[in-house]
Chain A
Amino acid sequence: MTDTPPTLQVKPARRAWYQRISAIWLIPIIAILGSLAVAYQSYSSRGPLIAITFSDGAGIAKRETELRYRDVTVGVVEDVKFTPDLSGVQAMVRVDTSVAPYIDSSATFWIVQPELTAQGVTGLDTVLSGVYIEGTWDNDPSDLVYAFDGLEDAPLFRSDEGGLEIVLRTPPGGSMTDNSPITFRGIEVGRIGKARISPDGNFALAEALIYEPHDRLISSATRFWDTAGFTFSVGPNGAEIDFSSVATLLGGGVTFDTFVSGGDPINDGAVFEVHPGETEARNSLFTESEVETLQVRVIFEQNISGLAVDAPVEINGLNIGKVQSVLGTIDREEFGDSRVRLNVLLAIQPARLGLPGEVTPQAAQDFLARRIEGGLRAQLANASLLTGGLKIILRQVDDAKPGEMRVAENGLPIIPTVDAELADAAASIEGVLNRVNELPVEELLESAILFLNNATALVGNEDLQQTPADIRALVGDISGVVSSDEAQTLLVTLNSAVGQFEQLLVDVETARLAARLGDALDTTSAAAAAVADVTGGVPALIDQITAVAQKAEALPLEALTQELTDVAAATASLLESDGAQSLPGVLGGALGEVEATLRDLRNGGSVENLNAALASAREAADAVAASTQGVPALIERIEAVAAKALDLPLEDLSVELTDLAAATATLLESEAAQNLPGDLGGALGEVEATLRDLRAGGTVDNLNATLGSARDAAGAIEEAANDLPTLVARMRAVLDQAGRTIAGYDQGATLSRDVESTLRDIQNAANALESLARTIERNPSALIRGR
């Protein structure tokens, strides 16, 4: 075990090739496979490359400019290059596979770029994003086409949009604005595409599209008219300017309307005429047949001026159409020379020919062809002698050269012609002129000169010149006759006659007037006299009233008061006397009677009652006067009583009487007593007022009488007052005695109460009187009506 085994040269076993390969290679392999897969997928999914040729690049950029369909990107421009002949720009567009099958011959492409037109701004988004190519194609997949010609502008019809395609045609000589909207009631319902000129140069034709929901508005009865520009009219309603919208004002436009119902639905490609205005469009319903016109051509050998567009075409005097265009034509091959011939295009309304059966241009053409074989020829004729205008008539020419309706190369039938019979008119005019020319103007002038010479000689004759002087003399004579005295006297006489007649009239009038005036004056003076009579009583009345007032003023009221005091004192001694005690009652009764009377008067109700009442009042006043006349007797009786009382020992009584007098004085100083004169004055005032009121009633006399009675009463009172000093003296004596003799007499209080009540009664009476007076014053008519 000492030998160590020899060290073996162990070589590691050579591993298999797959063992030596690291697993790390999987990663690049996977990466390569992945990228290859991606590359294959992107290659297989990429669409075809189509070439679109445009006239210019318009901003197309490689790998930036997109191809869009319905505004969705479906491709991108991969390359932009020139066409081999440098006539255009070819954009190579890689199209998405999703739309590639649809890009067939129906596809159209155009470049969308910002555009500013009268109708608005389009493609504004391309300002920022750059232009893009828009494409449109139908919905049916078909064989792929790889080369296209791009359109200059967006097409009117897009394969992916519906709508009615029609053709609009201008009237002969009319104009049209293309690329303009078709509006209906102000709404854009369609568009007019690019206009082109018709092959014969007579019209402008433009394709138009009516958008889908609006195409049902169009029928065969629809009329189109131009709304471009504005119309200006001055009429009875003032000036009017009319345009449909600013857009159509600037960019033109066409609108339409179906004025009558019953139109047939139309198909794509129908041709409509664009009338200049709504009025023309409306009128066209009646002037134009509902079917298309038959267009025929007429070539006249003559070249006569005066034929204009719209000149009528007549057959047997019936207007069947109009001249649509007038052109000159030179056709050496056809006519053999290079003379200019008149080439007229006629538009014949088939409906006006009265064709039986179907009314179509073809039927009209057949009809005309048959008639032409029978000798129908076109001829120029005078439409108006005044203007020299021409028209075309189709007339039967019996001895016409045989002819037929030829259909020319451009498809228009040609009607043979005969020479115009215009010479007749020209000849007649010439004949007229010739006759005018042949008029003997010179002889006429000679005669006229001769006549004028004779006239000069006549005028120059002396006899003739003398005539004015004779006339003047004649006038002088007439003047003398007129200025003679007799003639003038005649005038004066006439004048005086007229004056007398006038006087007569005046007299007649004055007589009647004077009588009337006299009557009136008489009546007036009588009235005045009556007035004077009435007024005459017034001063007396015033005098009487004044007297009454003076008397009332003269009444020594104060003295009377004092004496009444004494009377009262004296009266006290007479208290036992029934007469004295009943006096106040009598007075109260009298006053009550007055009051009643006045009340009756108030309730009376007529002027007679009033008079009666005044009479009663007078009687009452008389009675009062009578009663006052009884006062002296009373006084005498009082005197007697006093004399009797003198004998009585009445020392004690004096003290009581003094008190009584004081009480009486107090009583008299009371307001009622002091108001008495005022009340009396007021009563008088009221009476005065009453009298004034009653003056008209004819009761003045009664009043005077009443016042007289009042004066009597006043006089009686005055008389009584005159007796009063004596009474006073005697009363004083009585009182002196009574003062001495009467003592302890204890009935003063009773007396004073009686006096007081008496005075109160008087005051009541006065108040009643015052109230009566106030009532009368307030309502004088109550006195008359008694209420």
Chain B
Amino acid sequence: MVCMELSGQNADIKSAKDLGLVTCRRCSRVWPIETEVCARCGHAVQSRDITSLQRVWAFWVLGFMCYIPANMFPMLQTRTLLQVQEDTIIGGAVELFHYGSPGVAAIILIASVVIPVAKFMAIAFLAISVTRPSKVSPHQRTVLYEVVEYIGRWSMIDIFVVAIMASLVQLNTLAAINPGSASLFFALSVIFTMLSAQAFDSRMIWDVQAEATDHHAGETET
């Protein structure tokens, strides 16, 4: 991959596109740029995925839509003998903080609020940054993308916690923990953000950088 050969912010970096080449993203075979189907594995070969950004935004919107009810509806329904308590994510964290567990509250807040929100912001930033010049270097943005893609799966830890607790605490009438409706939306939100992150074609980061360089060069020429 091109991006693997980073060696500093060198303006002389040639992309495969510049060299008239295209690579199969499944089997990594490099073909001439006209090639449409990889002769080795049969995968469609495309120099740049023109619908990539659309898919990013579509999944981003879906993820964000799901994230709203995920925060509004209760995540966990705790039923004890006398009462039924339903906690939203933020409400539960605030309650934990009041009960003297700021550490746990912080973990919940970070895992369930800060990271997803940061993910949304990061993906949106990346998607926007490839369409217009950005001050952030492509290298940093690539790192950001890597981090986003890596960290995306860990957002599911909330869902795991809910699933484990719901399956463990089932004492009939005494006490029971059931997943609230928010857990479903939260899971969907995570899934959609992961898809959104995956749909992002990271090569575009470098295209933008190349265009910017060209533009810069043109400016200097004139």
A-side residues, CB < 8 A to B, are: 20-22, 24-25, 27-28, 31-32, 35, 128
Contacts and interface: CB of A to CB of B under 8 A. Distances in A.
Nearest to B68: A35
A20 B50 contact: yes
B95 to A, nearest CB: 17
B54 A24 contact: yes
Nearest to B62: A28
A576 B58 CA distance: 180
B74 to A, nearest CB: 12
Nearest to B86: A63
A35 B51 CA distance: 25
Looking at B54, B58, B59, B61, which has the most chain A CB atoms within 10 Å of its CB?
Answer: B58
Contacts of A27: 58-59, 62
A177 to B, nearest CB: 36
A25 B58 CA distance: 5
Contact of B54 (A21, A35, A128): A21
Contacts of B54: 21-22, 24-25
Given A21-B51, A25-B54, A28-B62, 14 more contacts: A22-B54, A24-B51, A24-B55, A24-B59, A24-B199, A25-B58, A27-B58, A27-B59, A27-B62, A28-B59, A28-B61, A28-B65, A32-B65, A35-B65
B50 A31 contact: no
A28 B51 contact: no
A77 to B, nearest CB: 16
Contact of A128 (B58, B62, B82): B82
Contacts of B58: 22, 24-25, 27-28
Nearest to A34: B65
B63 to A, nearest CB: 9
B155 to A, nearest CB: 19
Given A28-B61, A28-B62, A31-B62, A20 B82 contact: no
A20 B51 contact: yes
Interface of B: 50-51, 54-55, 58-59, 61-62, 65, 82, 199
B68 to A, nearest CB: 9
A565 B50 CA distance: 181
26 contacts: A20-B50, A20-B51, A21-B51, A21-B54, A22-B51, A22-B55, A22-B58, A24-B51, A24-B54, A24-B55, A24-B58, A24-B59, A24-B199, A25-B54, A25-B58, A27-B58, A27-B59, A27-B62, A28-B58, A28-B59, A28-B62, A28-B65, A31-B62, A31-B65, A35-B65, A128-B82
Provide the main secondary structure of the chain B interface. helix
Looking at A20, A22, A128, which has the most chain B CB atoms within 10 Å of its CB?
Answer: A22
Give the 6 A-B residue pairs with the shortest CB-CB distance, closest first: A22-B51, A22-B54, A24-B58, A28-B61, A24-B55, A28-B62
Contacts of B82: 128
A450 to B, nearest CB: 106
Contacts of B61: 28
A610 to B, nearest CB: 119
Contacts of A35: 65
A25 B199 CA distance: 13
A635 to B, nearest CB: 141
A252 to B, nearest CB: 36
A24 B62 CA distance: 11
A7 to B, nearest CB: 10
B173 to A, nearest CB: 11
Contacts of B65: 28, 31-32, 35
Nearest to A26: B58
A21 B65 CA distance: 21
A24 B195 CA distance: 11
Contacts of B50: 20
Contacts of B59: 24, 27-28
Contacts of A128: 82
Contacts of A25: 54, 58
Contacts of B62: 27-28, 31
Looking at A24, A25, A32, which has the most chain B CB atoms within 10 Å of its CB?
Answer: A24
A24 B58 CA distance: 6
A22 B55 CA distance: 7
Nearest to B54: A22
Contacts of A21: 51, 54
A641 to B, nearest CB: 145
A413 B186 CA distance: 81
Contacts of A28: 58-59, 61-62, 65
Contacts of A32: 65
A21 B55 CA distance: 9
A116 B192 CA distance: 57
A191 B54 CA distance: 73
Nearest to A25: B58
Nearest to A29: B58
Nearest to B53: A22
B59 to A, nearest CB: 7
